[in-house]
Chains A and B, each alone.
Chain A
Amino acid sequence: MSPIQNSKGIIIPDQHSAPNVAYTTVIFVSSQTMSKFVSIFFRLKSNTNFADSLRRTSLRNLNVRNLMHNRYSVSFPLLCPHRCSSTTASIQDQTIDFPGGAVEFIPDMRFISESPKARIPCYRVLDDNGQPILGHNFVQISKEVAVKMYTNMVTLRSMDTIFYEAQRQGRISFYVTAIGEEAINVASAAALAVDDVVFPQYREAGVLLWRGFTLQEFANQLFSNKYDNGKGRQMPAHYGSNKHNYFTVASTIATQISHAVGAAYSLKMDKKDACAVTYFGDGGSSEGDFHAALNFAAVTEAPVIFICRNNGWAISTPISDQFRSDGVVAKGQAYGVRSIRVDGNDALAIYSAIQTARQMAVTEERPILIEALTYRVGHHTTSDDSTKYRPANEIEWWRVVRDPVARFRKWIEKNGWWNDTAESELIRNLRQQLLHTIQVAESVEKPSLADAFSDVYDVPPSNLREQEQWLKEIVTKQPQEYPANIYV
């Protein structure tokens, strides 16, 4: 299969080729051994001399162990002119059938370096000033989509600012911001279809926002009131909405990655035109679930997109303490998963990459790994003060110079799709709206006592009904011992 270019001019690598090694597959030969595998690929030089061909045929009969030792050169003294040190093609013509496929063997002991010569390059469309880079290729987006993306990014930013303030004021107990990662959130959601099922970690509120979750609904979840989809059972920022195909956030790290593979398997069985998408951070990629899930996805050929938000920090653990590989994208090939590294603060790059990935995942039934490089500008959560472990000027630099929202704004303004008036109006409206949602959400009553016991099972069993009854009696008998807004 030769490298193909899809209609967008994006080069997709040849499935069978390994990068950095030039192979040409020439001949189909059947194996002498009763191998399960259909073909062995090996390389033939056009002009081989008799000695070479003799060696080749006799070597094929030797067992593997002999080949590995240097007895190889000793056993064939007549053939010294063609010793292994010359590393000509003829000596490397031998392959061995191992379970898993034929492998070419080499006489010299070569360790693969722990780090590549060059880091895997990063796909980017807009430069730091929001101008398209020369020679770019990206998926064109319409004005409507671009403006919607921008307004959603600004909304997410405002939401984060105001809800964070609310937590600091003690009105909600906890919050998680996505500052600095708005492009990943919104642009990725924009590139997906509404049927694609999303398995988030906890820093992807923008995906839900894009899909239509209202600010009031966000506020309801944060205040754990009775209108919360989760009926007040999860921590703030652990949103979930089956209507929007956004699976409820669980605090456990990386467990959702396996879920996504299972969901992709389910979609594949149902032959749906949809894929599963999951998000996780650089820290999450260390969990066992990540590795097994990637492996599974490759083996089961599941249509799933793995999006790693590599934002440099796992609470206080920097990348250098998290892994020593070339980021997360390098791990994709290790599992047989096609992967790409993208500038996570470039909305257009994210949009293009994800849309292409989705196409591949659904039509070719394969997993794709996308590493989006970005920076976590905010603290890990409201329970964290990141200035304790990283320099404030580093945070400031990323917040201002590498701001994904400002960068995208420059691009849409250049296209004449946005201006300052629109900006100030948006900001003003948002602030008003958000403060209003907080007020409303705060005043709505909390879920009733029965909601502590329902949904554990489909039908409450006797022990739970007993426990609920007992609790009801106690709360009714001594209401002064319990908060006034408990609804029995």
Chain B
Amino acid sequence: MATLFQGLGIVTPSFSSSNSFDSNNFLIPSRRSLSERRDGIFVVRSDARVSQTLKTGARKHELLVPNAVATKGGSSVASTSKPGHELLLFEALREGLEEEMERDPCVCVMGEDVGHYGGSYKVTKGLATKFGDLRVLDTPIAENAFTGMGIGAAMTGLRPVVEGMNMGFLLLAFNQISNNCGMLHYTSGGQFKIPIVIRGPGGVGRQLGAEHSQRLESYFQSIPGIQMVACSTPYNAKGLMKAAIRSENPVILFEHVLLYNLKERIPDEEYVLSLEEAEMVRPGEHVTILTYSRMRYHVMQAAKTLVNKGYDPEVIDIRSLKPFDLYTIGNSVKKTHRVLIVEECMRTGGIGASLTAAITENFHDYLDAPIVCLSSQDVPTPYAGTLEEWTVVQPAQIVTAVEQLCQ
């Protein structure tokens, strides 16, 4: 494709006044299609249960080339000829953040232990040394106050990135996020904008206990005025981080505790993704599986099994949790007529619940079967490993659901 990556200046698609399902709606030159994505070796390392390397069919199989010089990244498959560099997801986030901080002196970071400690998940490692203590600010433990501080700084011209050490802690900042972050641009009549990014790890981890395993996207989704995105790969993590920082709206970027050590090869060139777009992970014909964040990997694992059983699932990583990319989702539903939503949120009031409502409202006529939504149960996440595993949707359940849906 001639234009492989999005232009640097184009971050959000400019909306025309026509119907949102018009295919000419998006003015972005291209989205990185799956065929290009498949060139990278995609290794899921952190999660011991998903250890296979996913090499999808369209990829040209490069034979071992005996190079005199050892290649970077330790990959034995002709990496010298491949563009880009390999890194882990938290490094991708850091790279995105660092590039934005270099590009715009107004970008600053604040949060607990983000300074010289480098952040609890090392996303801000090295930034304090590079940019100084004032731009990478260590805050006392008062989430509501430092989120409020970020909002005040944003209203006076800075572009703060507020880190919640764990998304669950942002419940303490709910007042500032809902009443001020989401509302002040509106209630001030557009006089004061709040280009803040609130990010942090959330989701069910490995035995972190109920308080540290929360899915805040369910609670925040109703707040008017904010945008929510969830990253799942190093590629989209960097792209979404950059897009969120450049956005004039307050954006909440959801990362997942278990995905920080994912490794992927990402382009050297600068790229920014769109905040409102979903990602086509695997095109298919039989069923549309909508998912995001860590569940993407459970879905892809289930997809392998399904392919072996003869099904052809279409997997979409919705990425944009607020607003939903109903364009991509709609096209998929029109093609497959069956929808399965796989999420980590709880059944009641989760992202899946809203997505089910949105799809039913808009695409009811295209559905051959009721939408199935697989979510966690409405229980606090238990500590015991076995119990914790049972609260999260597993690939086997996904396979069963697809089989039932496609009967």
> B325: nearest residue on chain A (CB-CB)?
A462
| Among candidates A228, A241, A263, residue contacting B155 with C-beta atoms closer than 8 Å | A263
A228 to B135, CA, bound (A): 36
Q: Which residues in A have their C-beta under 8 angstroms from that of B352?
A: none
Pick from B41-49, B176-184, B236-244, B262-270 the stretch touching chain A: B176-184
List of A residues within 8 angstroms of B175 by Cβ: 252, 255
A338 at the binding interface (Cβ < 8 Å): no
Q: Whole-angstrom distance from the CB of B115 to the nearest CB of chain A?
A: 12
Q: A241-B191, A255-B176 are contacts. A266–B152 as well, Cβ < 8 Å?
A: yes
Distance between Cα atoms of A78 and B62 in the complex (Å): 87
Check B149–A465 contact: CB distance below 8 A. no
B188 within 8 A of A: yes
Residues of chain A at interface, number, CB under 8 A: 55
Q: Can you list 26 pairs linking A and B with CB atoms under 8 Å apart? A: A229-B188, A247-B192, A250-B183, A255-B176, A258-B151, A258-B152, A261-B149, A262-B154, A262-B158, A263-B152, A263-B153, A265-B137, A265-B153, A265-B158, A266-B153, A266-B157, A266-B158, A267-B156, A269-B134, A269-B135, A270-B157, A289-B145, A292-B144, A296-B140, A460-B15, A461-B276
* Interface set, chain B 241-275, CB cutoff 8 A to A: 247-249
Q: Does A238 reach chain B (CB closer than 8 Å)?
A: yes
- Let me know if A344 is at the binding interface, CB within 8 A: no
A246 to chain B, nearest CB (A): 10
B-facing residues in A198-238 (Cβ within 8 Å): 199, 228-231, 233-234, 238
Question: From residue 47 to 91 of chain B, which have CB atoms closer than 8 A to chain A?
Answer: none
Q: Pick the contact of B180: A238, A242, A259, A288 (CB < 8 A).
A: A259
Chain B residues lying within 8 Å of A248, measured Cβ to Cβ, are: 184, 187-189, 191-192
Known: A233-B187, A247-B192, A457-B227. A262 touches B20 (CB 8 A): no
Residues of B close to A448: CB separation below 8 A: none
**Contact (Cβ within 8 A) B249 A457:** yes
A455 touches B144 (CB 8 A): no
**How far, in angstroms, from A270 to B134 measured CA to CA in the complex?**
11
Find the residue from A233, A250, A258, A299 having the highest chain B CB count within 10 A: A258
- Does B14 reach chain A (CB closer than 8 Å)? yes
Least Cβ–Cβ distance between B124 and chain A, in angstroms: 17
Name the A residues within 8 Å of B149 (CB-CB): 258-259, 261-262, 265, 293, 296
* Residue among B192, B248, B326 making CB contact with A458, cutoff 8 Å: B248
Q: Tell me if B186 and A456 are in contact (CB < 8 A).
A: yes
Q: Which of B's residues lie within 8 Å of A, judged by CB?
A: 12, 14-15, 17, 20, 108, 134-135, 137, 139-140, 142, 144-158, 160, 175-176, 179-180, 183-193, 224-225, 227, 247-249, 276, 323-324, 326
Give the shortest distance, in Å, between A104 (CB) and chain B (any CB): 26
Nearest-Cβ distance from residue A466 to partner chain B, whole angstroms: 7
Residue among B155, B156, B183 with the highest chain A CB neighbour number at 10 A: B156
- Is residue A463 contacting chain B, with contact meaning CB distance below 8 A? yes
CB distance from B227 to the nearest CB of A (A): 7
Question: Is A124 at the interface (CB under 8 A from chain B)?
Answer: no
User: Does A407 count as interface, using CB distance less than 8 angstroms?
Assistant: no
Is A167 part of the contact surface with B, judged by Cβ < 8 Å? no
Contact check, B152 vs A259: say whether CB atoms are below 8 A apart.
yes
Nearest CB in chain A to that of B143: its residue:
A292
A368 contacts chain B at the CB level, 8 A cutoff: no
CB distance from B173 to the nearest CB of A (A): 10
Select from chain A the residue with minimum beta-carbon distance to B326. A462
Known A228-B189, A288-B144; contact A268-B134, beta-carbon cutoff 8 A: yes
Q: Say yes or no: A266 contacts B189, CB within 8 Å.
A: no
B135's closest neighbor in chain A, by CB?
Answer: A269
Instruction: Report yes or no: A233 in contact with B189, Cβ–Cβ below 8 A.
Output: yes
Given contact pairs A238-B187, A247-B192, A258-B176, A289 touches B148 in the complex (Cβ within 8 A): yes
Assess the A230–B152 pair: CB atoms within 8 A. Answer: no
Q: Which residues of A contact B157 (CB under 8 A)?
A: 266, 270
Residues of B within 8 A of A95 (CB): none
- Nearest residue (CB) in A for B173 is A258
Q: Which residue of A lies closest to B137 (CB)?
A: A300
Check if A292 sits within 8 Å of B140, measured CB to CB: yes
Q: How near does chain A come to B74, taking the closest CB pair, in angstroms?
A: 40
Question: Which residues of chain B have C-beta atoms less than 8 A from A457's C-beta?
Answer: 185, 225, 227, 249
Which chain A residue lies CB-closest to B145?
A292
Apart from A228-B189, A293-B145, A296-B142, 19 more pairs, CB < 8 Å = A199-B152, A230-B187, A240-B191, A250-B180, A258-B151, A259-B152, A261-B148, A261-B152, A262-B152, A262-B154, A263-B152, A267-B156, A268-B134, A270-B157, A295-B142, A458-B193, A458-B248, A459-B14, A462-B326
The answer to whether B152 touches A242 (Cβ under 8 A) is no
Q: Is the CB of B180 within 8 A of A229?
A: no
